[in-house]
């Protein structure tokens, strides 16, 4: 599939050795990729903010709310591509968009570059330091408050990397980035703006809870095993994964524990009303998962009990 250039201009070829002047002219050689789906509330601000860093490419998953038009007007190159999952979508963008810079930053529509981060990106891009990828910290802004506790901060993601040196692993959700060579951490942070109304939050999380409880059911009732624990303890990430997937679903009083963890153990209380709200909503989410799991299990047991006699003639 050929890549449509929305401005009708061919992308200039990348010279082999860019001079500092050329880097500057190309916006410090940084391209920003913003994947979107129905982001009309955020996209204009995001594009304008991202344009202060470099060329902006909006990779849209066929939005129906006019995101494309708003992004175009704000000065982004908009390319539409059908969504399969997050990892595949972004990998497609990394391979097919007409990037010109040496560096790529992947930004979500509800995220913003702070001035400090921008300067740091320029410094890194211009110095040509040895690393191929950089982890970026981000801070959640919620209810007029920068949330820096409750286990939500710091939150490191590999978002800034040399073009062609990183891609997402193939996974439906909670995908991670795989980077060739070494990676470092940036000092400054980006903003993650959360201003969705509660209605929106509930709608989304009922759906997530439905999916999550189905995963639990698969794991516990349909005999899909996670990897054996003794192999996992070698690796910290996998150890955490084991805890989350295997141990946590079997714990009693999960909503209360989740609340206590976020609000007390991780000091969410220091974030004031935003910390309380986030901890309470997360407890709600945990409770919804648990209830839906019970319901699905009950149904499975009932259908198993009924299943055989009703199928035989």
Partner 1 sequence: MSQVGPIIEVELDRDRYRGQRPPVSVVILTFNEEANIADCIKSCAWCDDIQVLDSGSSDQTVPIALALGATVHTNKFKSFGDQRNWAIDHIPCKHPWHFHLDADERFTPEVVAEMATILGPGGATTPHVCFLSPSKMIFLGRWIKRSAGYPNYQVRLFKFGVCRFMDFGHGQREVPQGSVGTMVEPYRHYGFSKGLADWLYKHNHYSGREAEEGLLIRAEHRMSWGAMLTADATRRRRAAKNFAYFLRFRAVWRFLYNFILRLGFLDGLAGFHYCAMISMYEYWIELKIREAQQRWTAETDALVVRMLSTPKPAVMMPPAQQPTGTAPQEARS
Smallest distance, partner 1 to C-beta of residue 52, A: 5
CA–CA separation, 118 and 84 (whole Å): 31
Evaluated on CA atoms 157, 161, 163, 166, the torsion sign reads negative
Among 38, 40, 75, 260, binds partner 1 (CB under 8 A): 75
According to the binding rule CB under 8 A, does residue 202 interact with partner 1? yes
Interaction residues for partner 1, span 14-43 (CB under 8 A): 24-28
Smallest distance, partner 1 to C-beta of residue 189, A: 10
Q: Which stretch binds partner 1 (CB under 8 A): 165-173, 196-204, 227-235, 259-267?
A: 196-204
According to the binding rule CB under 8 A, does residue 187 interact with partner 1? no
Among 14, 48, 221, 257, binds partner 1 (CB under 8 A): 48
According to the binding rule CB under 8 A, does residue 150 interact with partner 1? no
According to the binding rule CB under 8 A, does residue 288 interact with partner 1? yes
Neighbours of 9 (CB within 10 A): 9
CA–CA separation, 263 and 151 (whole Å): 9
Residues 6+ apart with CB under 8 A from 186: 117, 120, 121, 124, 134, 135, 136, 137, 160
According to the binding rule CB under 8 A, does residue 280 interact with partner 1? yes
According to the binding rule CB under 8 A, does residue 109 interact with partner 1? no
Phi, psi of 121 (to 5 degrees): -60, -45
Q: Strand, helix or coil at 119?
A: helix
User: What's the CA angle centered on 65, arms 140 and 72, to 5 degrees?
Assistant: 85
According to the binding rule CB under 8 A, does residue 144 interact with partner 1? yes
Q: Which of 297, 239, 114 is nearest to 188 (CA)?
A: 114
**Nearer residue to partner 1 within complex by CB, 54 or 93:** 54
CA–CA separation, 288 and 172 (whole Å): 22
According to the binding rule CB under 8 A, does residue 309 interact with partner 1? no
According to the binding rule CB under 8 A, does residue 145 interact with partner 1? yes
According to the binding rule CB under 8 A, does residue 163 interact with partner 1? no
Q: Which stretch binds partner 1 (CB under 8 A): 107-115, 126-134, 231-239, 264-272?
A: 107-115
Q: What share of the chain is helix, strand, coil (3-state, %, to 5)?
A: 45, 20, 35
Q: In the complex, which residues of this chain contact partner 1 (CB under 8 A)?
A: 7, 9, 12, 24-28, 44-45, 48-49, 51-55, 72-75, 77, 100, 112-115, 118-119, 122, 141-146, 191, 193-195, 197-199, 202-203, 206-207, 209-210, 277, 280, 284, 287-288, 291-292, 295, 298
């Amino acid at each position: 599939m050929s890549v449509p250039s929305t401005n009708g201009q061919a992308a200039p070829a990348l010279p082999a050795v860019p001079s500092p002047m050329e880097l500057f002219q190309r916006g410090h050689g940084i391209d920003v990729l913003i994947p979107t789906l129905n982001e009309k509330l955020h996209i204009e601000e995001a594009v304008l903010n991202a344009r202060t860093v470099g060329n902006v490419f909006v990779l849209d998953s066929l939005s129906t709310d006019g995101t494309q038009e708003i992004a175009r007007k704000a000065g982004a190159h908009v390319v539409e591509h059908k969504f399969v999952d997050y990892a595949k979508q972004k990998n497609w963008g990394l391979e097919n968009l007409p990037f010109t810079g040496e560096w790529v930053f992947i930004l979500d529509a509800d995220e913003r570059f702070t001035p400090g981060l921008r300067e740091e990106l320029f410094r890194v891009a211009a110095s040509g330091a040895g690393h191929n990828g950089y982890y970026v910290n981000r801070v959640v802004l919620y209810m007029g408050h920068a949330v820096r506790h409750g286990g939500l901060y710091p939150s490191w993601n590999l978002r800034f990397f040399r073009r062609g040196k990183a891609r997402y692993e193939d996974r439906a959700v909670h995908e991670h980035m795989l980077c060739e060579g070494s990676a470092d951490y940036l000092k400054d942070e980006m903003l993650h703006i959360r201003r969705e109304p509660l209605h929106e939050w509930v709608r989304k999380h009922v759906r997530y809870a439905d999916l999550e409880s189905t995963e639990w059911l698969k794991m516990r009732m349909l005999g899909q095993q996670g990897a054996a624990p003794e192999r996992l303890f070698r690796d910290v990430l996998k150890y955490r994964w084991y805890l989350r997937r295997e141990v946590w679903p079997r714990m009693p009083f999960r909503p209360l524990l989740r609340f206590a963890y976020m609000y007390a153990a991780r000091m969410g209380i220091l974030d004031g009303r935003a910390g309380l709200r986030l901890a309470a909503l997360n407890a709600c989410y945990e409770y919804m998962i648990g209830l839906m799991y019970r319901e699905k299990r009950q149904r499975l047991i009932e259908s198993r009990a009924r299943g055989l006699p009703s199928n035989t003639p």
